[in-house]
């Protein structure tokens, strides 16, 4: 269980950082932006696979007994998946580097560019919502797997661990 949580935490942090970097083509330049976003898409794919059981469970009980928070969470996640697909597809349609490498020439349409920009903006809002919905889990996991180990490593040894233990000294030897 803990290994799974740790893996999920690492994957989530990687996705968040990748999203922030990929969302700013000015930082990396266009070719790196395209390839990087494609790689981030694969990690996003893995993220969905890791949470497959949750997706199935909530899908089964969506119209039955389910607390409102889980339902809202599910809707946000579904929207986020659809939006990310829109970002990727529109990104591929306006791609200069990836599609050229693959030998595919697509007619450039300004509509795709605007869809790409608009869906990227929407993804930012939905990512914020998604992040907020899992805030408790994120804080707990961060504390358990990142902050506490760092604190333990940097902590000075206390006097308790250096306590003197009485031992018997045999003077005859």
Partner 1 sequence: MLKVIFRIFLILIVIALVSAALYALVQNTSLGASFGRGDFGSRAFTGQTSSVAISGTLTGTSFSPGRFGEGSEGRFSFSLLRGLSGVLGNTIAIGAITLMVVLVRKPRAPRLLRVRPVSLDQP
Cβ distance to partner 1 smaller for residue 85 or 147: 85
Quick one: CA dihedral 12, 15, 19, 25, positive or negative?
positive
Report in angstroms how near the CB of residue 151 gets to partner 1 at its nearest: 23
Cβ distance to partner 1 smaller for residue 16 or 146: 16
* CA–CA dist 144, 149 (Å, integer): 7
Report in angstroms how near the CB of residue 119 gets to partner 1 at its nearest: 9
Cβ distance to partner 1 smaller for residue 30 or 142: 30
Cβ distance to partner 1 smaller for residue 128 or 149: 128
Interface residues with partner 1 (CB under 8 A)? 20-21, 23-31, 45, 48-49, 52, 69, 81-82, 85-86, 89-90, 93-94, 96, 109-115, 117-118, 120-121, 124-125, 127-129, 131-133, 135
Cβ distance to partner 1 smaller for residue 53 or 170: 53
In SS3 terms, the chain reads as CHHHHHHHHHHHHHHHHHHHHHCCHHHHCHHHHHHHHHHHHHHHHHHHHHCHHHHHHHHHCCCCCCCHHHHHHHHHHHHHHHHHHHHHHHHHHCCCCHHHHCCCCCCCCHHHHHHHHHHHHHHHHHHHHHHHHCHHHHHHHHHHHHHHHHHHHHCCCCHHHHCCCCCCCCCCC
Report in angstroms how near the CB of residue 133 gets to partner 1 at its nearest: 7
Report in angstroms how near the CB of residue 49 gets to partner 1 at its nearest: 6
Report in angstroms how near the CB of residue 143 gets to partner 1 at its nearest: 16
Report in angstroms how near the CB of residue 170 gets to partner 1 at its nearest: 56
Distance between terminal CA atoms of the chain?
55
Cβ distance to partner 1 smaller for residue 106 or 151: 106
């Amino acid at each position: 269980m803990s290994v799974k949580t740790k893996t999920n935490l690492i994957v989530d942090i990687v996705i968040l950082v990748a999203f922030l970097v990929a969302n700013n083509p000015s930082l990396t330049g266009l070719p790196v932006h395209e390839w990087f976003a494609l790689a981030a898409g694969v990690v996003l794919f893995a993220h969905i696979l890791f949470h497959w059981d949750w997706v199935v469970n909530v899908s089964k009980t969506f119209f039955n007994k389910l607390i409102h928070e889980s339902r809202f969470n599910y809707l946000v996640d579904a929207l986020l998946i659809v939006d990310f697909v829109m970002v990727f597809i529109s990104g591929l349609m306006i791609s200069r580097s990836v599609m050229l490498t693959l030998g595919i020439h697509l007619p450039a349409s300004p509509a795709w560019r605007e869809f790409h920009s608009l869906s990227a903006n929407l993804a930012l809002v939905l990512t914020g919502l998604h992040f907020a919905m899992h805030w408790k889990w994120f804080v707990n996991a961060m504390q358990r797997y990142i902050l506490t180990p760092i604190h333990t490593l940097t902590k000075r040894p206390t006097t308790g661990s250096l306590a003197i233990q009485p031992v018997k000294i045999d003077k005859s030897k």
